[in-house]
Structures are given as structure tokens and as C-alpha cells.
Chain A
């Protein structure tokens, strides 16, 4: 008789193999999960679990939040929100040393709030900001590094897709997760701004100054983002103060985005149809991944592998911080060959129970996990954001972009260390809102 923990380990190994062979993430997770349940309980139990879990997921009211926030984002894109945030920030900051790089961070934070996606953010803002910075004589590595790092803000800035998925699989309040992301997200953006200022102070040639935009042009430019800013503030603010549930907030956001589209003159059957189509493409992929993640989590729970691991950590009598640092190292290592959500779905069922047994809040763990996942978007060898930028500027070598991102990666590690050392960074705001 094989020990359950061994079956758990074999399952994880098999899953990594399936993912490496290109099996869809959701399919791999679900097959290993169901296979594990079949071996450990019975094939009948696995069939019934599959039937029950899959219907529970697709009929879950709370899961409606994800496609609705996606639809809101696509309607905002249809309204032309893509480049506005960078344009406005560039008008206000462009005349300063490294100002366009600072503006690109602002653009990423603003756009990230709409898209909830790191890659969408880096692709969109880079397509606008990178040519501008290169035209202004910015060092290509510095410019692309700032954009690659700035793009990661999309994963943490509410309403973040990654946090919604974490909230669903970890059964945590999405409203609290959004609230918890605000302070770390703001500090992350500030750390990038500070990095740019310091780099330009040391080497002014990295980001030369550009012509100052007069105030008579700045104020009208501001009007281009005010409506979207108000919509996002209303949706997230209303959710945090309890006006709406997350799903209602997303619905209100969709209605608001439709109004915005009409006011901006972009409302048409075609525009709305395209937004719905794009939403369905992404939602379908995520639904399969979530079904797979929950089946895999069931298997991991049955295998008692998490109890064995947390027991081993407890037996060492080491500080819980050491265990978290070890988890960080494993996450960063896995992040070298697994992309963000695969990493999150694979590790949440294993690491979350351990973190909880060590006394960490699951809300904090969600922020920690997404933050670590974000670093995977810019660190070699995977660094998806780097490849996105290289796809947009093919004359830039991957080496140039990776070298450019190193100072921002240092800021990322410092920020992550602060998040681990001071969990209150993430937990203060949700506590305040709940109180």
C-alpha cells in the first residue's frame, strides 16, 4: 500500500510532466485530481466528484464576478481607455528627468486597474510609451525595464483577475483581497518611481528631459481619464464600503462602462459584440482552469501532503518567517518555468494550508502569492513581460531588456521582503473596512 503522501508527490510530478507536454493547465489539473481521487478513494467517487464540482463551479453566483469584470475591462478598451493614462501622465511628468518612464508607471497603474492583467498592461502601455521614450532619447534598456516592471502592477491593482481566481479557489472574500492589495500595490508603484528617480539621478543620460507641456493642455488632457477613474473608484469603493457584493460591483461596472462607451461616442452593436466575444474567450479558459484547480485541491487535501509538510516545518521549531522565505524561494524557482496562474493554482492547495497553520492570514497569503507571481513575469528565464516588450521592439535584444529590468527586480525583492516582514501592509485596510 503506497502512503497517501507519496501518491500526492507522484501526482504533482505527473502534473508538471503533463504541463510540460503542453496539456492545457485546467485539463492537466483536473485529470491528475480525478486520477488521484480514483486511486485513493474509488473510480466512482472520482466520477461523482467531477460531476458535482464542475456544476458547482459553473453555477456559482460568486464566480460571475470574473466574466463581468472582464466585460467591464473590454468595454473600457472599446471606449478608447488604452493609451489615455500614459498620455495624461506624460503631459504632467514628461519634462522631468526620467519623466516619461515615471509616466509609464502611472499609465501601467491606471490601465492595470481596468485590465487586471500584467501582460495586457505591459503590451498596451509599451505600444504607446516605448516609441515615445525612444524618440525622446531614453536608454532602451532603462525604458523597457521600467515598462516590464510597471506592467506587473496589473496583477495586483484591483480589480485583479489573479486575486479573483485566488479568492475563488481559496474561498476568501474578493472584496477583502481587493482592499488588501491597495497599500502593497501603491507601495510597489512608488518603489518603481523611486527606482527611476534614483537611476536618473546617478545617470541623467538614461532619461533626458523633454519639452514642458503647458497647463492649458494638461487640464483638458486630465478630462480624458476622469470618467474612467470615477468609474473604477465607484466600483471598488462601493465594494469596499459594502454598497455591493463583488458580483454586483462588476455588474454596476459593466453598466457604467456601457454608459462611458455611449458618452465617448463608441457605442455600437459591433463594439459591444466584440467586447462580449473577447470576454467569452477568456472566461471559458479560466472556468476550465478553476474546475481543474478545485479537483486538484481535493486530491492534495486527500493526500495529506500539506499536513506532512507543515508538520515538518513545525518540528524544525524554526520561525514561520523562515518557512515563508523558503516558500518564496520555491515559488520563484517554479516561476522560472511555470507562468503565473499555473504557479498559483499548483501551489495554493499545498502552501495555503501550511501558511494558515503557521498563523498567516489567507488574505495576506493571497497578496504574497500574487506579488511573488508578478516577479516571475520579469525574472529570467521565463519573464513573460520581457518577451511581450521584445515582440513590440524586435530590435531590442532580450539581454538588453533583462539588464534594464535588474534595478526594478531589486526594488521588487525589497518590496516582497517588506510584505513578508510587515504583513500589516496588506492586512491594515481590510481590517479597517471590516471594522
Chain B
């Protein structure tokens, strides 16, 4: 039985890695094939997530150090806010790519393989619908606030571009879910 949940913070599947430590999707980079673009997107997502994680770590650690040594880092909270947007967007896309979203398997594990595959497609379709709705909602908000030049207080980080980034990622995540819902059966899934 395989379960995944938010409580299993450290026990999540890593998505099944190759012996060389690379994620399987990283290996599928045939020149000129759609998988190459997929591989590049995966790399970009990991890169962006790493920048977000390390950026948030650096900004907050320097803020603490500065506060205790009298050298204040102005706007550290805003820097962390920017960094967590990057890591949040990237992390959700990665979790979708590796099919790493938490779900309850107690019922589906008792079904036939065919029924399990159909339900997995249905679940992916539900994910696509959700992220399409979030994309429309985000686009609506971006449109409403665009002329307002929304920005942070101290460092004047333009929030509208962060909203645009989130909109782009909701579209990518919806597309990925849709691909998982409609993609033809792979050899791994069985005939």
C-alpha cells in the first residue's frame, strides 16, 4: 500500500531516481523530441526552486546576523517573500511532474489495474481543472491590479511580475495535469 500525505514530510517518494541520482525525467532528453523540452523545463524548475530556497535561507540568516550585530538588513522579509514565490511555483510544478501529490489510496489499491489507471487519469483531469481555474482567477487579478503598480514597501519589488510568474506556473501545472490525463499508455503502465 502506498500512501502519501503532508504528514509524511520526510517520507515522500523522491519520484524514483536513477542509479546516478538523476530523476528519470532528466534522462529522457532525446535531441529534438518533446521530452527534451520537458527535461529542460524540469531542470529550470529545479534551478528556480533552488534559487528560491537558498535565497530565502540567505536573506533570513543575514537578517538574524545583522540584527544581533547591529547591521540591519533592510527589507529581508520582502526578499524572503520574493524567494518563496519562486520556490513555491517551482515546487508545485515539480510535484506535478513527478506525480508526487498526496492522495488517499485505501480504496484505489483494492481495484484492478485498469480501474486504477482510469481513476489516475480522472484525478489528473481534476488537477488540470483546478489549476485552469486558478490560472483564470490569477489572470483576472493581474488584469485588475496591473495599472496599480503593486510593489513591496521597502525594496519596491514589483508584485505584479510575481503574479505573472504564478499565472505562468498555474498554466504549466494545468498543462502537465492535462498531459497526464490524456497521454497514451506507456510501456511501463502495461498494455
Contacts and interface: CB of A to CB of B under 8 A. Distances in A.
B147 interface: no
A22 interface: yes
B6 A285 contact: yes
B126 A58 contact: no
Nearest to B159: A59
B94 A281 contact: yes
Contacts of B104: 19-20, 22, 25, 337-339, 342
Given A50-B133, A287-B91, A342-B5, A22 B105 contact: yes
A25 B100 CA distance: 11
B7 A341 contact: yes
Interface stretch (A223-231, A270-278, A352-360): A270-278
A340 B5 CA distance: 7
B6 A25 contact: yes
A21 B123 contact: yes
Contact of B87 (A67, A74, A123, A155): A67
The interface residues of chain A, by DSSP majority, are classed as helix
Contact of A339 (B3, B21, B57, B98): B3
B108 interface: yes
A27 B120 CA distance: 13
Contacts of B127: 23-24, 27
B37 to A, nearest CB: 20
A161 B64 CA distance: 23
Range, interface on chain B: 35 or more
A125 to B, nearest CB: 12
A317 interface: no
Interface stretch (A110-118, A133-141, A174-182, A411-419): A110-118
Given A281-B100, A284-B92, A52 B87 contact: no
B8 to A, nearest CB: 4
Interface in A282-298: 282-289, 291
A248 B60 contact: yes
A397 to B, nearest CB: 15
A27 to B, nearest CB: 5
B60 A251 contact: yes
A31, A51, A77, A387, most chain B CB atoms within 10 A: A51
Contacts of B122: 21-23
Given A68-B53, A276-B50, A58 B77 contact: no
Contacts of A248: 60-61, 63-64
B64 to A, nearest CB: 5
Interface string B115-144: 010011011001101100110111111000
Contacts of A273: 50
B1 to A, nearest CB: 5
A284 B103 contact: no
A73 B6 contact: no
Contacts of A20: 104, 106-108
A84 to B, nearest CB: 16
Given A51-B140, A68-B57, A339-B3, A287 B92 contact: yes
Nearest to A384: B3
A48 B10 contact: no
Interface of A: 18-28, 30-31, 34, 46-52, 54-55, 57-61, 63-64, 67-68, 70-71, 73-74, 77, 115-121, 123, 155, 161-162, 165, 243-244, 247-248, 250-252, 254-255, 270, 273-274, 276-289, 291, 337-342, 344-345, 373, 382, 384, 387-388
Given A22-B119, A54-B166, A71-B53, 19 more contacts: A19-B103, A24-B127, A25-B5, A25-B101, A47-B137, A51-B136, A55-B163, A61-B80, A63-B84, A67-B87, A117-B9, A119-B7, A120-B9, A282-B10, A284-B94, A288-B92, A340-B8, A341-B102, A344-B7
23 contacts: A20-B108, A25-B5, A27-B126, A49-B137, A50-B136, A51-B141, A58-B85, A60-B81, A64-B84, A67-B87, A161-B6, A244-B64, A255-B57, A273-B50, A281-B12, A281-B95, A282-B10, A282-B12, A284-B90, A284-B95, A286-B9, A287-B95, A342-B102
The 5 closest A-B pairs by CB, nearest first: A51-B137, A284-B95, A120-B10, A284-B91, A341-B6
Interface of B: 1, 3-15, 21, 23, 45-46, 49-50, 53-54, 56-61, 63-64, 68, 77, 80-81, 83-85, 87-96, 98, 100-108, 116, 119-120, 122-123, 126-127, 129-130, 133-134, 136-141, 159, 162-163, 166, 170
